Amino acid sequence: MPLPFLTGSRRGRLLSIIILLTVFVLWLGSPTPLSTVRQDPYNLHPVNPPPTSPNTDGASHHQASPHNDSPSHEADDAHEAVDTPSSSTGHVLPDDADDNSKAEPADATTTTTTETSEATPTSTLECLDYETRQRQKAEPLSEGKRKFPYLRPPPECRKFPHPALEGLLDEVKKTVRDPDLFRLFENTYPATLDTWVKWRGYAAKKDETTGEETKTDEELAYVVSGDVDAMGLRDSANQMYSYLPLLRASEDKDSLASLWRGVINSQARYIAVSPYCNAFQPPAESGIKPIHNPAYNKTAPPFDPQVVFDCKWELDNLASFLQLSTAYHSRMDDLAFFGKYSWVDAVESAVAAATAMRRGTYDDKGNVIPSAWNSTDHANATHAGNPIKENGMIRSAFRPNGEPCVFQLLTPSNMMFATYLDRASDIMQGLADGGATPKAANLTAAMRDLAQGIRRGIALDAVVTHRELGEIFAYEVDGFGGASLMDEAQPPSLLAMPLWNFTLPATSGKTLVKSVKHTPRGEREPETDPNDSLDLSPPLPKT
């Protein structure tokens, strides 16, 4: 009998071919069940892949340094040379592995051994990485309309357990009636302590004669933000600063105070050698492999890619370091801590870098003055920005959101830096009075002079006259009269000014509008509203 698709009309042959193709597609798809409208799509990548023995794969485990004895070794995500923390190697640390001899690779399922204060048996649990947890709709869901998932890792998998944090969450839950809103807070506020404290330990000191390294009592910590496995100054400072209400005086190696000191010490070590940079590699003591950044040779002055991950000159990074330092000092009254390690050297380096970035673009003869920091990887005059006239403010190549500045005299960053430089000078004054370091007295004077000069520069050029609102702060200025009237959402911003209570140098009784009201033309509040004004110093004479 002739086959129907070889004989007959063209319509019959076409219909036969369609039927055969349909049968073939259905047969091909039969091993994989198709999802229906009411089902989730079939997951070809199981959430919990079977663990693979470390000896069956070519990926190497990184040997930790001999001085890697730490209060809480958190290097359980060893960083391969990639730009994101989502690299999965398929490895699981063996149960009998020595926690101080190997750094555990980043993994979708990592083995965590939990030790309690009592002599209880240790338990083993497979801990999902952050990206895997995010892809799951973990229960219990929030009881509101949104049904938000629960994204915190199990207690055994949290990097830095803190009882006071759990108590705070319980109190907030009693106050916030919206279960969806509370779930957002519950998922986000503990995230740094739960997930992003990658390592804690102690600094090592090398003997110049024998070359041997010994562990010191200098606490170190490596905290990342998650988008990249590098420690940003602003990011890590903001992450820690959110836990200020929980900070209590303690010498316990597992206390929040110890973690806070570790972050300050790590940041101080970074700033002391590379004050113009913004993101840094893991401490050598951690045993975590540095991450490769292909742009490492695109800025001047050059930096060590084994120490620095990225080098964007953002003034608010130094301001964030000072903010974190002054918060610890005001809360703990621990002056001796700041005189022990690298903090004084870091402040000295920060003041020198900021002072160098006060210079304008041209000298008195019109010659271009080389910038202390520049990038060779940007079309706009190597990130020099528009020309700047020196006025006491400090130039910043980038805004807090990472975008290049148009006019590099960035007002909010200068406000924040001046405020915390002034407050940090009180710490330096205390060190000078106690004779902790000979350079403290000179640094105190330099810090206060620099802060005062910034305030004068802001009063001179960053206060501009709006045709309807009167005098307002400009977001960016150039010192020649150019100004950018805008704001950014990310602090430091003009609207965030109350967070650091910025003040101008003197008071003349004149008022200044704090913010631009988003109301229709002609309906804005008057400039002299006492609830919406600041004292403004008299304008300085232009030279």
Residue 155 in domain: yes
Residue 316 in domain: yes
Residue 243 in domain: yes
DSSP state of 85: T
At 77, list the tokens: 């995500």
Q: Which amino acid is at 201?
A: G
Domain coverage including residue 12: 1-33
Q: Which amino acid is at 475?
A: Y
Q: What single string gives the DSSP state of each residue in 13-78? A: HHHHHHHHHHHHHHHHHTTSPPP-TTSPPP-SS-SSPPPB-GGGSSPPPEEPPTT---SS----SB
For residue 291, the SS3 value is coil
7: confidence class by pLDDT, cuts 50, 70, 90: low
**What's the half-sphere exposure (Cβ side, CA atoms, 13 Å) at 173?**
11
* Overall pTM > 0.95: no
Q: Among candidates 208, 204, 270, 272, which has minimal Cα distance to 237?
A: 270
pLDDT, average across residues 498-519:
61
> What's the CA gap between 512 and 503, in Å, rounded?
11
Same domain for 366 and 490, yes or no, is: yes
Q: Which helix or strand (DSSP H or E) is residue 202 part of?
A: strand 197-206
pLDDT of residue 114: 37
89 φψ region: left (φ > 0), alpha (ψ -120 to 50), beta (else): alpha
Orientation angle between helical segments 179-188 and 163-175, nearest 10 degrees: 160
Same domain for 1 and 123, yes or no, is: no
> What's the CA gap between 426 and 333, in Å, rounded?
12
> What's the CA gap between 203 and 198, in Å, rounded?
16
Which alpha helices (DSSP H) does 158-208 contain, by range?
A: 163-175, 179-188, 191
Q: Is the dihedral of CA 158, 164, 170, 173 positive or negative?
A: negative
Residue 54 in domain: no
404 upstream amide cis, omega within 30 of 0? no
Residue 49 in domain: no
239: confidence class by pLDDT, cuts 50, 70, 90: very high
At 247, list the tokens: 């900070």
Tell me the sheet residues that pair with 465: 471
pLDDT of residue 293: 84
Q: What is the pLDDT of residues 403-412, one digit of tens each?
A: 999 999 999 9
Same domain for 357 and 487, yes or no, is: yes
Angle at 439 between CA 438 and CA 442, to 5 degrees: 120
Q: Return the number of other C-beta atoms located less than 10 Å from residue 32's C-beta.
A: 9
Residue 59 in domain: no
Residues 6+ apart with CB under 8 A from 212: 206
Residue that is written with structure tokens 């009075």 in the block: 433
pLDDT of residue 542: 43
Residue that is written with structure tokens 């910025």 in the block: 502
Q: Which amino acid is at 281?
A: Q
| Cβ atoms of residues 154 and 127 within 8 Å | yes
| Cβ atoms of residues 59 and 105 within 8 Å | yes
Same domain for 153 and 275, yes or no, is: no
pLDDT of residue 507: 52
Residues 6+ apart with CB under 8 A from 403: none
Q: Among candidates 184, 154, 157, which has minimal Cα distance to 169?
A: 184
Residue that is written with structure tokens 């940041």 in the block: 267
Q: What is the pLDDT of residues 123-171, one digit of tens each?
A: 456 888 888 888 888 889 999 999 999 999 999 999 999 999 999 999 9
Indicate the range of 118-122, 321-325, 503-507 predicted with least confidence: 118-122
DSSP state of 402: S
Same domain for 406 and 451, yes or no, is: yes
Same domain for 350 and 304, yes or no, is: no
Residue 516 in domain: no
pLDDT, average across residues 249-265:
97
Same domain for 387 and 453, yes or no, is: yes
Please state, rounded to an integer, the average pLDDT across all residues of the chain: 79
At 95, list the tokens: 């149960």
Same domain for 233 and 161, yes or no, is: no
Same domain for 322 and 352, yes or no, is: no
* Residue bearing the bigger pLDDT, 391 or 58: 391
Tell me the sheet residues that pair with 200: 221
Most confident stretch, 64-68, 186-190, 363-367, 431-435: 186-190
Residue 400 in domain: yes
| Cβ atoms of residues 427 and 329 within 8 Å | yes
Same domain for 152 and 68, yes or no, is: yes
Percent of the chain with pLDDT over 90: 56
At 443, list the tokens: 């640094």
Q: How many domains does the chain have?
A: 4
Same domain for 367 and 474, yes or no, is: yes
At 393, list the tokens: 């403010």
pLDDT of residue 132: 87
Q: Which amino acid is at 355?
A: T
Domain of residue 388, CATH code: 1.50.10.10
Residue that finishes a domain, picked among 290, 316, 341: 341
Same domain for 231 and 366, yes or no, is: no
Q: What are phi and psi of 324, to 5 degrees?
A: -65, -40
